[in-house]
Amino acid sequence: MATLKFSKTHEWAKIDANIAVIGISDHAQKALGDIVFIELPKIGAKLKANAQFGTIESTKAASELYSPLSGEVTEINKELLNNPQWVNESPFERGWMIKIKVENSNEPSSLMDEAVYKEFAAKEAH
C-alpha cells in the first residue's frame, strides 16, 4: 500500500515500492491561490532531496517546488502543464506533478506523515 508523506516545504510524496508520486499539499495550493503556471523537469532528471524540481505560479505568488526525496524523474504530468487549475481542484489526484524512482529507501522516514504535517501547517498559518 502507498504511504503518504509530507515535506516542510509543503510537497507530498505518495510512495509505493520504489516509486514516489509528488505534488503539493492542499494547504500549499490554498496559500498560493489560483495556479496559473507550472514548470516541471524533464524525464530522466536526477533530483536530490530538497532540491528544486520546478516552479509554480499563481496570480499573486511564485514559488519553487522542492523534491521531498532523491531520485530520477520517470514521468511528469504533462496534461497538468496545460491545466494548472488541477492543482487547486485536486491537489492529491489530478494535480500530481512528477513520479520519481526513489534512490534511498531510508529517506521517506525523515518526512512527516499526514497528522504531523497537518499540525505543522496549521502552526505555520499563524
Partner 1 sequence: MPYILNTEKDIKEMLTTIGISSLDDLYRHLPNQIKINKKLNLPSGLSEQELRSFIIALAAKNKTINEFNSFLGAGSYKHYVPSALNSIISRAEFLTAYTPYQAECSQGILQAIYEYQSYICLLTGMDVSNASLFDGGSSLAESILMSLRVTQRKKVIISSAIHPEYKRTIYTYLSGFNFKIQEINFDQQGLTDINQLTADGDTACIAIQSPNFFGIIEKLGKISSLAKEKGALVIQVANPVSLAILKEPAAQGVDIVCGDGQALGGFLSFGGPSFGFIATKNEFLRQLPGRIVGKSTDKEGKTAYCLTIQAREQHIKRERATSNICSNQSLNAISAAIYLSLMGKEGLYDCALYSLNLAHYLHGRISEVKGVKINFSNNFFNEFVWNVENQKTVIKKLYKKGIISGLALSKFYPGLKGGILSCCTETKSRAQIDEFIETLKTILN
Partner 2 sequence: MDNRVIFDKTTPGRKTNYIKKPDIGIKKPDELLPQETLRNDLILPSLGELDVVRHYTNLSRLNFSVDTNFYPLGSCTMKYNPKINEELAALCGFLNIHPYQPEESIQGALELIYNLEKILREITGMSRFSFQASSGAQGELTGMLMVRKYHKINKSKKRKVIVPDSSHGTNPATSSMCGYETVVVESNKDGLIDLDKLSQAIDNEVAAVMLTNPNTLGLFEENILAISEMVHKAGGFLYYDGANFNPLLGITNPALMGFDVIHLNLHKTFSTPHGCGGPGAGAVGVNDKLLDFLPCPLVNKEDEKFYFNYKVKHSIGKLRAFYGNFSVLVRAYAYLLRLGKEGLPRVAQNATLNANYIKAKLKNYYNTASSKSSMHEVVFSCVKQKERGISALDIAKRLIDYGMHPPTMYFPLIAKEALMVEPTETENKETLDYFIEAMLKINKEIDDNPQNIKDAPHHTPVKRVDEVKAARNPDLRWQCKKIGA
In the stretch 45-84, what mask flags binding to partner 2 with x, by CB under 8 A? ------------x-xx-----------------------x
Of 69, 85, 82, which is closest to residue 22 (Cα–Cα)?
Answer: 69
Q: Which 34-73 positions form the footprint of partner 1 (CB under 8 A)?
A: 36-37, 39, 57-62
Q: What minimum distance in Å lies between the beta carbon of 22 and partner 2?
A: 22
Q: Which 4-43 positions form the footprint of partner 2 (CB under 8 A)?
A: 34, 36-37
In the complex with partner 2, the residue whose CB is nearer, 24 or 38, is: 38
In the complex with partner 1, the residue whose CB is nearer, 57 or 72, is: 57
From the list partner 1, partner 2, none, partner contacted by residue 85 (C-beta under 5 to 8 A by kind): partner 2
From the list partner 2, partner 1, none, partner contacted by residue 34 (C-beta under 5 to 8 A by kind): partner 2
Please write down the long-range contacts of 32-39, taking CB distance under 8 Å and 24 or more positions apart.
Answer: 32/56, 32/58, 32/61, 32/63, 33/58, 33/59, 33/60, 33/61, 34/58, 34/59, 34/85, 34/88, 35/84, 35/85, 35/87, 35/88, 36/84, 37/84, 38/80, 38/81, 38/84, 38/87, 38/97
